[in-house]
Each structure stands twice: as structure tokens, then as C-alpha cells.
Structure 1
Amino acid sequence: MIVAETRAHAARIEAALTTGEAARSPIAASWSRSARMYGLDPAARSAPMRMTDAEFRHVSDRMEPTVRLAAPTLDRLFRAVGGLGTCVVLSDRDGVPVDRRGNSAEDRDFADCGLWTGTIWSEAQAGTNAIGTCIAEARAVTIQRDQHFLSSNTRLSCTSAPIHDAEGALTAVLDVSTANAACTEAVMTLIAHSVTEAARRIEADLFRARFASARMWLAPGLDRGVGAILAVDADELVIGATRAARQHFGLKGDLARNPVPAADLLGLAVPDTLEDGERAVIARALARTGGNASAAARNLGISRATFHRKLGARATEGRDLSQN
């Protein structure tokens, strides 16, 4: 029975590749890469390649900060979907699972499928699969059972979303997989939404950790779930942007080295003369002291007379400066 199913699966893939379906279907395009670029055989029933202990320790050490920050989100996601017979996997940018959540009663099934920490799920090693194809196509991907390239993986239904670091580069992949046949395409669609949302939360956590001392601004006009966040310093300069923000504003390069004025980026009409800047400083000083000019002057390290002179008639309008 297994041999017949394997042959049928391989024949289906071969038919798709010989009829030009790869030009019309993202799944068939991945099959084409698996067969023609990587030389894989869909009839192969071997488990994914495992790293050596030393290799996996190297990957784990590099991924430790990401794993630590992602842990609460992985826990929440597993609580939401674990009852459906799924496992939650966090892989590195090369498709190597470095952390996972699963039910102990189902661990053997996933271990037998090779979906375990230290295995390699890149397309080059495992053919079409959610983790590897997500990396290859830089987008969220769901692969249902026989959409996998290798027949050994057709028991699984998997959905993955990319996670980008604070500079917008791919750093990890979040995946939920199941061998439960009751997880239909409709159910996997719902899970896929949760996976994408969780991946965006992890991205935001990585970004906030990277720019811990900056203010976080949500890019206006975009869905909050997209995660378009700007890191702005005390001088109103954008020193960091998430991948979504970079795409929205067309930002490139190292913003910490080459910051961008937030006003310019957001199209805000902000006066740029030294006089206006000085007036803004004085206005903030007054606001912090509740309009007490003497206290504001002391906080700025100048005399009250100098304070009044710098403030000017326009800035003093409407404010009570008679307090001592």
C-alpha cells in the first residue's frame, strides 16, 4: 500500500513538472526546484538530515537570544493550537528547528517524521515543505499533506511564517505542523493566521529589544498587525525600522549609522530653524513646570531674564509667567 501511494505521489509530481504547471502554481514551482535544482527524488522516504551535536550547539548558541525572546509567544501559540495534535517549531534562517513545543503523546510521531530539533528542513534537503519553502520564497506558506515533495513527508500538514530581525533580514521561521488528518485545509487556514500573527509579535519583540532606549512609533495608515514600527531617538531621528516599515517607507541600509528625520519620513510640517528649535525646548520646559517660568529657567540652566528674552512674545502668549 505504501509503495503504491509513493509511486502515485511521484507520478503526480512528474506530471505537474512535464505539463508546465510550475509556471502557474507556487507548489509546482517548489516541486520543480526540489527536483531540478536540488536533484531530490519524490519517492525517497528518508528522514531529513540531522546536524551533528557540535553543529547544532553552534546554531543553538547563535539563536539563543531569539529563542529566549520568542518563548512566551511560542507558549501562547501552543496553548491555542496544541489540542489539535500539532507541534510548534521555531527554526533558524537555514531551516534548522532550534526550539519546539509538543504533546509528549505525539512526540514519537514527529520524531519519526524528522520534525525535531537539529534536523534540516531547507528545500535543498527536504524538498517542498512549509519551513523550507517559506525560506525560499520569503513569505508565509502552508503545505498540506501531499503537497510535500518527498513522499515521506505526506503525513504532515504544516504552516510557516518568516521572522525578520531588527534590520529586516530573515532570522527565523515559525511553524505549526500536524499529522492529524482531522486538520483540514480550513483548519490549517485558521492556524496559519495565528502563526503569522505570532511571527509578527516575535519580530516586534526582537525590534524592541534591539532599540530598547528608543521610542516606538507605529507607522500611520497601516494595519497594526502588520508590525510597521519605527525606532525614534531623542532628536526625532529614525534609527531603526521593522521590515514592514522599511517596505512601506522604502528604507534601506543601516539606519543607526544613517538616521532619517522622522518629520521628513512622515511628511510632517516641522519648522527647522534654530530659533524654532529653541522655542520648542522652552515650550517643553514650561509644560513640565506647569507654566512656572522661574522653575523652567532653572531646569534649563539659564536666568529668568534670558528665558523671557528667548521665549519671545509669540511663545509667551496665553501663558501665565508671573509665578515665582
Structure 2
Amino acid sequence: MTGNAITGRDHEAAIASALARGQAARSPIVASWARSARHGLAPSRRPQGNRLSQSELTRLRERMEPVTRAARPTLERLFQAVGGFGASVILASRNGIPFEHLVNSAEDRDFAEAGLSRGTDWSEAAAGTNGIGTCLAEGRTVVIHRDQHFLTANTALTCASAPVYDAGGEMVAVLDVSTVRRDIAGGFAGLLSHSVTEAARRIEADLFHACYPGARMVLVPGVERGMGAILAVDADELVIGATRVARQHLGLSGDLGRNPVPAADLLGIESHNRPEDGERAVIARAIARTGGNMSAAARALGISRATLHRKMGRPD
């Protein structure tokens, strides 16, 4: 893909040829084209233009307000960095609907004509291969440059999109930087990709901090600092939350709030019970290590089950 302007007929022929040669197994872009075709789309077809009503958009923005609140500082910093290049910054829902859009007034009309505005459906099913929709479909950062888009109508766009995961490790939004400028080279698109990925990680960290305001934040050792591998640790030194990257690195799963894990065990600290720890903290970690089995925890501590319940302030 050169990114140079091509005719609709040439674009359609290039896609048909790539699909006919079975390139979907070797190229993520062609794999997305194949998905777009299975959705019943054709390159020459205009975008469906599915758009939320104003009341539906209002409800979506209200529902996503906690994400927007955490993301706002990062969105504004990112826009300050890329807005001068004619790029806009978008936060879209996990259904592919932009609900926040930062754009210079000079480019607002261009983006509106491209259909890239609040409330418009940019899922792959509606718009074919594109930054937001393909990011959602593949769960990773993508760059869709010009004629890599499936629909000819979208080939003026260059889009870099990254998934945003919430404190539980679930994808909650997509961060997108798009431009309609025709002088954007593929190399610059790569720089946009790096910027949008780093910004998405900052948003994830802010969402995580907001979810655990009273916890101590611990960076997981052995993971690049910018990857966002963070643990939320309570006063008993129990891990009660972990970002998606931390979960992947440490093999964590499930609800850590209900089933916490001793931080010392996860981080490989040999001395689990420190002299400065209170009795309750030591007991809490013993219970966590046994998965909530009170009898096993009592045996590990060398006390009776009745004594354990009494120390925890629970009825036997």
C-alpha cells in the first residue's frame, strides 16, 4: 500500500486481488478486508452512516463520563501535540461510537464530511477496515493509512487507534488520532501510533488510580515502566487490583477484590511476615494464601480455627 491517491476502481481491484490470492493469512490489513467483505460491505459502497440520535448520544456520554473524566487531561495533552498537524483526537465506545472529539475549527468541516464525528458508527461492520473498528476487532493498536481502508470513501483518512482497558482488564474504549491531510506519510503515521499507544496507557493508569483511591500503587518489576503494569495494594499488603498488563505478566485472573493475593508472594519477597506488620495483616495474608479456607489458614498460623475467628472478630 503506497498511500497515494488512487481511483475507486483501482482500490476495489487491489482489494479483490488480495482477497483472491488468500493474503488474509499473512496480512492483518487483508484479514480486516476479508472481515469487511463478510459483513456485506463493498469498497465502492458509501459508509452506512449509522448515527445515534442526540438523546442516544447524550446517554452514551453520560454512561462514559467516568472514563471521560479520567481521560480528559491526556486527551487535551495529546491534542496539543497533534492538533497542529491537522489531526483530531477521538474517544470511542467499545461499540465503535465516538463520544468525545477534539478537533480544530479549521478542520471540523473536513472531518464532518468524512463522517468522523460524535455518534457515528465506526465499527468494522458499518465502516469496514478503519482505525477505530479494526482496533476493536483485533484488540490492539492499529494504523490504517489512506488506501488501507476498505471503503474507498474513507481513503482520505489516516488513523491510529489504541484500545483502552479499565481497572478490571476489560476494553472500555478506543483512543483514536485521525487526520484527513493528504501529505501525511506512512512514517509519520507510525509516530502517531506510538503517541496514541502511550496516551492510552496513561488513561488506563488514571482509570486504575481512580478505581483504587486508597490503595498503594506498586509497579511490577521486570516490566518496562511505560507498559503500565501496576498493582493496587491495601493496608494488609494484599493485592486487591491489577492492570491488564500486570495480570498478563503475573498470570492473575478473577476478582482480586474478592480474592486478594499477598503482594509478597507475587513479587517474590521471601520474608512474608514482617515484624512491623500488625496481627490482623498477618492473618489476612494467611487467609488469602489459602483462598479463604479458614481451617487451612489457622493450621498455617499454628492456631485453632476458633482462635482465628476470634482474632478476626468473626463468629466461629
Instruction: Determine if the TM-score, normalized by the shorter chain, exceeds 0.5.
Output: yes
Asked if 1:32 corresponds to 2:34, the answer is yes
Query: Partner residue of 1:247?
Result: 248
Q: Is the 8 A contact 2:264 2:272 kept in 1?
A: no
Any conservation in 2 of the 1:47–1:152 contact (CA below 8 Å)? no
Q: For residues 287-323 of structure 1, what are the alpha-carbon distances to aligned partners after superposition, in whole Å with 9 as ceiling and x for unaligned? A: xxxxxxxxxxxxxxxxxxxxxxxxxxxxxxxxxxxxx
Deviation at 1:47, TM superposition (A): 5.6
Q: Distance in 2 between matches of 1:47 and 1:114?
A: 10
Q: 1:252 to 1:107 in 2, by over 3 A?
A: same
Partner Cα separation in structure 2 for residue 172 and residue 270 of structure 1: 40
Q: 1:280 is paired with a residue of what secondary structure?
A: coil
Shift of 1:51: 1.2
- What secondary structure sits across from 2:7 in the alignment? helix
The runs of 4+ residues in structure 1 deviating greater than 2 Å are 45-48, 279-282
Q: Matched residue of 2:169: which SS?
A: coil
Shift of 1:122: 0.6
- Following the alignment from structure 1 to structure 2, what is the Cα–Cα distance between the partners of residues 22 and 190? 26
1:139 aligns with 2:135: no
Give the aligned partner of residue 97 of structure 1. Answer: 98
Identity %: 60
- Which runs of no fewer than 5 residues in structure 1 stay unpaired? 283-324
Deviations 1:1-33 (Å, cap 9, x if unpaired)? xxx811211111111111101111000000000
The one-letter code matched in structure 1 to 2:57 is F
Question: Paired residue for 2:14, among 12, 15, 19?
Answer: 12
Higher helix share: 1
Looking at structure 2, the residues matched to 183 and 47 of structure 1 have their Cα atoms a distance apart, in angstroms, of: 26
Aligned counterpart, 1:280: 276
| Structure 2 match to 1:228 | 229
**What residue in structure 2 maps to residue 317 of structure 1?**
none
Contact 2:90/2:175 (8 A) holds in 1: yes
C-alpha distance in structure 2 between counterparts of 1:71 and 1:176, whole Å: 15
Report the RMSD for the aligned CA atoms in angstroms: 1.2
Aligned residue pairs total: 273
Distance 2:35 2:28 in 1: 11
Rounded Cα–Cα distance in structure 2 between residues aligned with 1:50 and 1:270? 58
- 1:47 and 1:113 in contact (8 A); partners too: no
Q: Which moves more between the two structures, 227-236 or 178-187?
A: 178-187
Map of 1:74 onto structure 2: 75
- How far has the Cα of 1:157 moved from its partner? 0.4
CA positional deviation for 1:98: 0.7
Seen in structure 2, the aligned counterparts of structure 1 residues 271 and 254 have a Cα distance that, compared at 3 Å, is: closer
What amino acid is aligned across from residue 17 of structure 2 in structure 1? A
Tell me the SS of whatever aligns to 1:75: helix
CA positional deviation for 1:54: 2.6
Counterparts of 1:19-168 in structure 2 under 5 Å? 19-36=21-38, 38-46=39-47, 48-168=49-169
1:71-102 deviation line (CA, Å, top 9, x unaligned): 11111001111111110101011111010111
Q: C-alpha separation between the residues in 1 aligned to 2:124 and 2:238?
A: 40
Query: 1:118 aligns to what SS in structure 2?
Result: coil
CA contact (8 A) 1:200 1:226 kept: yes
Larger Rg: 1
State whether residues 47 and 114 of structure 1, in contact with CA within 8 Å, keep that contact through their aligned partners in structure 2: no
